[in-house]
Structure 1
Amino acid sequence: MSKVREQLLALLSSGKYSDLVITCGSDTHNVHKAIVCTRSGFFERAETFAVGREAAESKIDLPEDEPAIIRLLVQFLYECAYDIHPPVRSLSSSAPQVQPWFPHSCHTRGAQYSLHFPCKKELCEHHICGTHCRSKCSDFTCSVCDDLRPHRSAAEYASRLLVHAKMYEVGDKYQVTGLKELARENFQAACAVSWDDEQFAVAARHVFTSTPESDGGLRGVVMEVLRARRGVLTKPCVGAFLRQHPGVMYELLAGNAGM
């Protein structure tokens, strides 16, 4: 981890020098205008033209968004990356043995694999309890270390498809530089592995309901999969998606006619 990235993460985790609060559901993010307002057109305008109570408190509430997605958004604003932590049940004996204490909960006493609060132990080079998580992480598994696993199943990639689609959506909604591009790359990579999973149809449905026709980013990826993987068209879940979006079927038929 670079020194600058580590310092930014420490600022976000500690809330030190924070001059703006972003809330979503029960989540509160103590952020810094110099970072979030320069990287997001939405937050820049919200801060510039804020009035009333939110202006006085330097607070922005996002009641319509999913807290989990906003957490990833805030992470991206500070790191230019976002990590989708896999569920604990996805771990297997193939996980790196150099971290035998994963998963852990640094704020829970007595739980299996737990480290007693307050915990300052460095679990790996990517996470230090008390610095990166305010000693509040639960069932923590380092996503960077987890990516070193030699065999990640297609189901695991499939479970991330919808998250990447939602990150693309918030990247557009909040005008975050670079987020749409990264989400598209991640979505395309996940599709290459899990195009045969039912989650592909779920993600495709979200793509076509959350983006305008003029935005060909993720729509283009979905169309590439449908054209290249004809077998996926026979799946009931994909058939239901096509019935909801007949324009997609028309494009596929028109493409065949032009061949």
Structure 2
Amino acid sequence: MTSITASMFSTWKYTDLLIKCKGKEWKVHRAIVCLQSKPLASAIDGKFKEAMTGEINLYGNEPEIVQCMLQFLYTSDYKDGSIEVMTQAITNAPESAETPPRTSIKKRKVAKAKVVKISDPHELVATSAFVSPSIITHENSAAPLINAKVYIIGDQLDIQALKKLAKVKYEALVSEPWNSDSFMTSLELLYKETSEDDRVMREAAIKIAGQHAKELCDRGEFISLCK
């Protein structure tokens, strides 16, 4: 069924509802969107202007986040700007330069990155420590913040499955690679936009903050947030 609804998201065939957000529009299907969100269903089923016009304006959100939300409703997933990087790790140094090193392949999801290749991994034979022939330089990414915002729109529209997925994606990205700027922005947003009753995402962020307390305590905004 997911493959069918996913194909429906890429076309506007048989759509019967228009979602708007700051100049961007999506033609969607009520049977897919409204069945997964009680607030959206109430807007269409009730005696509101949305029911008469067949249009819902999510003006309080960002188009990029609305896109993620709608993509999830059709595919059970969404793109947050992160990528999967395959890293080749030298697990044991070879006995000589002529002996190829034994390697293992590790797969992990990271924020968008650029990869700088080492021309000859055999040049590293002098060390017995863990070395990666692919050095990954992580750029600042909006992916953690996107996931925090997706969690918030999931809370606003009562899409619990979306909230769960956003939490999983958020935890994976802010844990590694560590980026204090991106994390602090998302942390401030979560405390501002989520309710006291909904502490799932806050607690996930607090747990990660505890792992990097030394770095964060040097930041004034983190100290202010803790007060």
Preserved CA contact (<8 Å) 2:147 2:170: yes
Preserved CA contact (<8 Å) 1:20 1:32: yes
CA displacement at 1:40 relative to structure 2: 0.8
| Counterpart mapping for 1:1-259 below 5 A | 4-52=1-49, 54-85=50-81, 90=113, 92=115, 153-155=137-139, 158-236=141-219, 239-246=220-227
State how far apart, in whole Å, the 2-side matches of 1:182 and 1:216 are. Answer: 15
Give the TM-score taking structure 2 as reference length.
Answer: 0.72
CA displacement at 1:199 relative to structure 2: 1.1
1:213 to 1:242, Cα distance in 2 relative to 1, 3 A: farther
State how far apart, in whole Å, the 2-side matches of 1:232 and 1:93 are. Answer: 27
CA displacement at 1:173 relative to structure 2: 0.1
CA displacement at 1:223 relative to structure 2: 1.4
State how far apart, in whole Å, the 2-side matches of 1:214 and 1:71 are. Answer: 26
CA displacement at 1:80 relative to structure 2: 1.0
Preserved CA contact (<8 Å) 1:195 1:225: no
Q: Cα RMSD over matched residues? A: 2.4
Which amino acid is the alignment partner of residue 33 of structure 1? R
Structure 2 unaligned spans of 5+: 84-111, 118-133
CA displacement at 1:233 relative to structure 2: 2.7
Provide the identity percentage. Answer: 26
Preserved CA contact (<8 Å) 2:113 2:138: no
- Tell me which structure has the larger Cα radius of gyration: 2
Residue equivalent to 1:255: none
State how far apart, in whole Å, the 2-side matches of 1:228 and 1:203 are. Answer: 16
Deviations 1:135-188 (A, max 9, x none): xxxxxxxxxxxxxxx8765445x5311111101100000011301111111111
Preserved CA contact (<8 Å) 2:113 2:137: no
CA displacement at 1:227 relative to structure 2: 2.1
State how far apart, in whole Å, the 2-side matches of 1:217 and 1:41 are. Answer: 21
CA displacement at 1:212 relative to structure 2: 1.6
Preserved CA contact (<8 Å) 2:116 2:135: no
1:155 to 1:93, Cα distance in 2 relative to 1, 3 A: closer
What secondary structure, in the 3-state scheme, does the structure 2 residue paired with 1:178 have? helix
* Aligned residue pair count: 183
More strand by share: 2
State how far apart, in whole Å, the 1-side matches of 2:44 and 2:136 are. Answer: 42
CA displacement at 1:90 relative to structure 2: 4.6
More helix by share: 1
